[in-house]
Structure 1
């Protein structure tokens, strides 16, 4: 049986080696290659992901039997919904797009990429139907990739002249709290470690989620920065 610390070290290496942590789309944001038109495309797709995630995570919280795990999941759910007095996070993202003239479509009203639908459906299937261990592994990947994602988006958004300190609150907030989110899911995953079978399921979910996210970011890059040349 692999010791818990060694398991997490290996899991972190495996996830960080995938395109959910570093990819051309994130690099394009950091390098100032994203235009307002690109944001218009990106925002609708990303919004579906972040708007539905707390609801799906609440479903996973309902499924778990261990109260310690449920507590850690609940921390992230409450955080995403603004805590006791803060703004719901997807509303903050709306505010970050507004100065650019980008109005995000209501859920179900946008033309979603197949990879966007696959990501949201994949999270639903994993969290609501899969094993608890694999679902926790998938959630671990989402949180582990959150900080490099937010850091990249912040670098791009802050370059737009229309952005203000107030409109960038979504990014400031997540630059601070993403580490806490990782700590919470780490503690949740730790509750189900200890057996080789559990480790295999956690890793399976983590890498499946990494693939879904990698496909999502790759599709957005192709749709925005690297648009196909037409004859």
Structure 2
């Protein structure tokens, strides 16, 4: 039986300072990103969380459809980062998801550049960060997180080759509430650390399965192939091209070459 989510269940005894202290729960939404963005425009407190049981019009990176049927996690968090670095927020979110999954389930997720959380070479979580930028600063950031928790991939043949879920990997249903609460605690801890040091970047880099591999990077209509040598503190992928030169890639889709 899929566990129930509510604002009260999430916030009670959460032990965070601001992330998750205000939670807006909806049985169904078009997307949590839309609602969280509107909350931010209305001056919502930092750490406001919008969460739903079901998204009907969710999109991932590059406006791809992201399935969120009931039994999974779809949430967005409003942040007001001091430094205008979208990649830093991505690092915090993806690392927080990985650590929450590891803590609650014992599974060992890895990260694929730039923002996918993977189990057994399949995607279990997608992260989307949108920022509203004013001259010289970031007005707000909305972090959207979608985790396949109790999804049966065989019910969706179109994603079966590329996606998995926590319950599928574990062989039993997983508590969404435990994952959400752990995720919000980890997110706050890492967010605060990211303001003071490069420790989050280093931990994020160390979990990247992409590094050291031959990859194909697609960005718009451009495709490059090479070895994913490293990532820099701004989150850019450093790609060693066949001619020996080093290319700095800020955004794109990465495919590991066989």
Greater strand percent: which structure?
Answer: 2
TM-score by length of 2: 0.25
Greater helix percent: which structure?
Answer: 1
